[in-house]
């Protein structure tokens, strides 16, 4: 383990670990009281002190062993970590909360000229993320100020180059600091001399071991939707859990054209023994079709999905349920961190009386896509656009779902996909959402009046789906989509939607 992260109570501690993992480094998180012994025994190449909500002046502030600053190991103190470093050198060097507090984006000016290693290759000014009460008032003896904000009035970074001690007041680990991980990369590579040691095989091995440990002698059920997350997870776990893993695909009736066959083929290729449960399709349509409200539809889908899952689990004597839920799903469902509920996800916090295992809960989409390549899933999973669990049920907007409308939107979705593939445009887009809009409008077909539905085609670009940009299609492609879709007797108009998220979400519901 090359890097030790000492957790001083920050909500971002896990994000430091994830950023290091992304850069290819394994790291360990320990509380301060366990850190010294571990450091002496394991001699890491670098130490990162996380932020934290305490003030260095609090009686119960985390007690970091001071020896770490004299062991010749580079130390990077983030936020509280930097304040602690300053305070320990000079106990008058930290401002109390009133003077220095800052929450949100801050423009930081860096000292990049004089061979500064931590900020090498950064521009002179950069948007960074800060979230602190106290702040460092003056750099203690032996330290120099290497970054500031608010016209030099706030010390944003300091270092003692001789002793390899570095402090940053802002948070380099979060995405809102627009350095693309350069600061953590410089610390690990240029200052600590780390060599990447975290391969995909390590990640896969770790996921398998953690899951095996949690499962013990039990049997787990996993729902494979054919999406990147659940399919990759089933492929990772199938060889490790063998008979202890039962993989199912629930055909909800809201799948895309040819979806079930594609998923079956994919599972076979990835070594997953998959059983398709399709006897509940009518129940899904019947129950979801009783409302047009987005959240109620999601709640109904979730309820039926839960019932079907529970019954399936009972039939195979499962004790656990394995979920491919990602960090993003948990954040947006309000289950992780302090964020608001944006949408109810069908598979988050399902209470089925089974123990839940979520091996991907710290992972982000791009990481899971990377793993998919390891299992020969590149065409069907890694390059495949995501599709939500409730599927086409979320793509019929403003009118109750029926079998007939599902069929219309399924055909429209298939036609749009085929056109985009033919024009080589699908690879440029992160997701295509084809939805039937339930507001009827007047049209004229074959010289007769029609009063029918519209289709909305939404094409977006994104890396993580937390935010998306609209992708504007060529007019030639739009014309082909319009002429193809309006051939259907029930489709009068086609709308193109390039609204970003925020304010619009990716899906319509
Ligand atoms: P939103 O609409 O929240 O979508 O911007 C972000 C990404 O998540 C997908 N999505 C879901 N996936 N179950 C899923 O498995 C769901 O309930 C769900 N809702 C949205 C959406 O398609 C997009 O890729």
- Cα 50 from Cα 173, distance rounded (Å): 10
> Could you give phi then psi for residue 155, rounded to 5 degrees?
-80, 115
Asked if 335 and 311 count as a contact pair (C-beta separation under 8 A), the reply is no
Distance between alpha carbon 157 and the CA centroid of its chain, in Å? Answer: 29
Beta bridge partners of 321: 221, 356
Q: Are residues 459 and 493 in the same domain?
A: yes
Work out which ligand 1 atom sits closest to the CA atom of 343: 3
pLDDT over 50 at 337, yes or no = no
Instruction: Work out which ligand 1 atom sits closest to the CA atom of 465.
Output: 6
Looking at the structure, do residues 267 and 296 belong to the same domain, yes or no?
yes
Segment among 351-360, 399-408, 494-503 with least mean pLDDT: 351-360
Structure tokens at 207: 């996921």
Residue 189 designated active-site: no
CATH number for the domain including 412? 3.30.300.10
Greater model confidence, 508 or 116: 508
CA–centroid distance, residue 107 to ligand 1 (Å) = 33
What CATH number did the domain enclosing 17 receive?
A: 3.40.50.880
Residue 225 DSSP label: -
- DSSP assignment of 9-69 equals S-TTHHHHHHHHHHHT--EEEE-HHHHHHHHHHH--SEEEE---SS-TTSTT-----GGGG
Same domain, 215 and 136: no
- Indicate which residue's Cα is closest to atom 6 of ligand 1: 465
pLDDT in tens, 11-67: 888 889 889 988 999 899 999 999 999 999 999 999 999 999 888 989 999 999 999
Does residue 116 sit in the same domain as residue 227? no
- Catalytic member of 173, 356, 415, 480: 173
In angstroms, the CA 37 to CA 4 distance is 12
Query: In which domain, by residue range, is 432 found?
Result: 402-497
Q: For 374-406, what is each residue's pLDDT tens digit?
A: 888 887 666 678 888 899 999 999 999 999 999
Question: 243 lies in a domain?
Answer: yes
Residue at which a domain ends, from 382, 410, 436: 382
Domain identity same for 207 and 187: no
Give the distance (Å) from ligand 1 centre to CA of residue 390. 9
pLDDT, tens digit, 9 for 90 and up, residues 78-131: 999 999 999 998 877 887 765 556 778 899 999 877 678 999 989 999 999 988
Nearest to 287 by CA among 252, 324, 323, 237: 252
Q: Which ligand 1 atom is at minimum distance from the Cα of 501?
A: 5
Write the secondary structure of 353-420 as one string of H (helix), E (strand) and C (coil).
CCEEECCCCCCCHHHHHHHHHHHCCHHHHHCCCCCCCCHHHHHEECCCCCHHHHHHHHHHHHHHHHHH
Residue 504 contacts by C-beta under 8 Å, 6 or more apart in sequence? 497
Nearest CA to ligand 1 atom 11: 388
- How distant is the alpha carbon of residue 153 from its chain centre? 35
411 and 377 co-located in one domain: no
Residue with tokens 């049920």: 393
Secondary structure class of 202 (helix, strand, coil): helix
Name residues contacting ligand 1 (CB within 6 A). Answer: 332, 343, 345-346, 386, 388-390, 431, 465, 501, 505-507
Catalytic residue among 132, 156, 159, 171, which?
A: 171
* Interval 215-260: pLDDT, tens: 999 999 999 988 888 999 999 999 999 999 999 999 999 999 999 9
Residue 94: name the closest of 20, 164, 169 by CA.
169
Q: Which atom of ligand 1 is nearest to the CA of 301?
A: 17
| DSSP helix/strand/coil, 160 | strand
* Same-domain status, 146 and 275: no
CA distance 260 to 395: 18
CA distance 300 to 302: 5
129 within 8 A of 176, measured Cβ to Cβ? yes
Does residue 272 lie within any of the structural domains? Answer: yes
Count of domains observed in the chain: 3
Atom 7, ligand 1: residue with shortest CA distance = 465
Q: Is residue 285 part of a domain?
A: yes
Question: Contact at 8 Å (CB) between 3 and 44?
Answer: yes
Q: Is 261 annotated as catalytic?
A: no
Among 169, 191, 213, identify where a domain stops: 191
**387 domain residue, yes or no:** no
Q: Which of 89-93, 286-290, 336-340 has the highest mean pLDDT?
A: 286-290
Active site (annotated) includes residue 171 = yes
Does residue 224 belong to any structural domain of this protein? yes
Residue among 397, 507, 508 whose CB has most ligand 1 atoms within 8 A, to mutate: 507
With 0-12 / 13-18 / 19 or more C-beta atoms within 10 angstroms meaning exposed / middle / buried, residue 188 is buried
Tokens (6 digits) for 69: 């600053």
Q: Nearest residue CA, atom 23 of ligand 1?
A: 506
Rg (CA), the chain: 26
DSSP 1: -
At residue 339, does pLDDT exceed 50? no
In a domain, 213, yes or no: yes
| Any domain includes 393 | no
From the CA of 458, how far away is ligand 1's center (Å)? 14
Helix (H, G, I), strand (E, B) or coil at 109: strand
Question: What is the domain-level CATH number for residue 241?
Answer: 3.40.50.620
Q: Which of 191, 219, 238 is the last residue of a domain?
A: 191
End-to-end CA distance of the chain: 44
Answer yes or no: do 129 and 253 share one domain.
no
Indicate if 300 and 156 belong to the same structural domain. no
In a domain, 143, yes or no: yes
**Same domain? 341 vs 412:** no
Instruction: Looking at the structure, tell me whether residues 19 and 113 fall in a common domain.
Output: yes
Per the residue annotation, which of 14, 79, 346, 356 is the catalytic one? Answer: 79
Label each residue of 406-463 as H, E or C: HHHHHHHHHHHHHHHHHCCCHHHCCEEEEEEEEEEEEEEECCEEEEEEEEEEEEEECC
| 141-153 tens-digit pLDDT | 999 999 999 888 8
Same domain, 21 and 159: yes
């Amino acid at each position: 383990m090359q890097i030790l992260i000492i957790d001083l109570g920050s909500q971002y501690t896990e994000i430091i670990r994830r950023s290091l993992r992304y850069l290819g480094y394994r790291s360990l998180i320990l509380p301060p009281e366990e850190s010294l012994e571990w450091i002496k025994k394991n001699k890491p190449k670098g130490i990162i002190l996380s932020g934290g909500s305490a003030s260095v002046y609090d009686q119960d502030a985390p007690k970091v062993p001071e020896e770490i600053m004299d062991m010749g190991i580079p130390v990077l103190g983030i936020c509280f970590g930097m304040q602690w470093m300053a305070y320990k050198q000079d106990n008058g060097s930290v401002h109390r909360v009133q003077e220095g507090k800052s929450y949100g984006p801050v423009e930081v000016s860096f000292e990049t000229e004089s061979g500064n290693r931590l900020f090498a290759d950064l521009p002179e000014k950069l948007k960074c993320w800060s979230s602190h009460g106290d702040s460092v008032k003056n750099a203690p003896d032996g330290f120099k100020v290497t970054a500031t904000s608010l016209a030099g009035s706030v010390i944003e970074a300091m270092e003692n180059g001789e002793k390899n001690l570095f402090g940053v007041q802002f948070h380099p680990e979060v995405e809102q600091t627009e350095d693309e991980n350069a600061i953590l990369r410089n610390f690990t590579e240029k200052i600590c001399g780390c060599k990447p040691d975290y391969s995909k095989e390590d990640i896969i091995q770790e996921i398998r071991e953690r899951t095996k440990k949690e499962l013990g002698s039990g049997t787990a059920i996993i729902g494979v939707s054919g999406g990147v997350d659940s399919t990759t997870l089933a492929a990772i776990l199938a060889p490790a859990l063998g008979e202890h893993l039962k993989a199912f695909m629930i055909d909800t009736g809201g799948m895309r054209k040819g979806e079930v066959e594609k998923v079956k083929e994919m599972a076979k290729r990835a070594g997953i023994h998959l059983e398709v449960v399709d006897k509940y399709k009518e129940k899904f349509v019947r129950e979801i079709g009783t409302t047009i409200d987005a959240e109620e539809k999601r709640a109904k889908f979730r309820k039926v999905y839960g019932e079907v899952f529970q019954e399936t689990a009972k039939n195979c004597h499962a004790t656990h349920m394995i979920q491919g839920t990602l960090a993003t799903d948990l954040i947006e469902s309000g289950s992780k961190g302090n964020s608001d509920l944006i949408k109810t996800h069908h598979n988050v916090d399902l209470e089925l009386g089974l123990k839940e295992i979520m091996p991907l809960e710290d992972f982000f989409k791009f990481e899971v896509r990377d793993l998919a390549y390891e299992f020969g899933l590149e065409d069907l999973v890694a390059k495949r656009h995501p599709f939500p669990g409730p599927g086409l049920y979320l793509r019929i907007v403003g009118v109750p779902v029926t079998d007939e409308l599902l069929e219309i939107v399924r055909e429209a979705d298939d036609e749009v996909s085929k056109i985009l593939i033919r024009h080589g445009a699908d690879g440029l887009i992160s997701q295509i959402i084809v939805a039937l809009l339930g507001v009827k409008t007047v049209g004229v077909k074959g010289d007769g009046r029609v009063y029918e539905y519209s289709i909305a085609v939404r094409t977006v670009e994104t890396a993580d789906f937390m935010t998306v940009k609209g992708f504007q299609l060529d007019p030639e492609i739009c014309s082909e989509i319009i002429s193809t879709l309006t051939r259907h007797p029930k489709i009068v108009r086609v709308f193109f939607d390039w609204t970003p998220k925020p304010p619009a979400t990716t899906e319509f519901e």
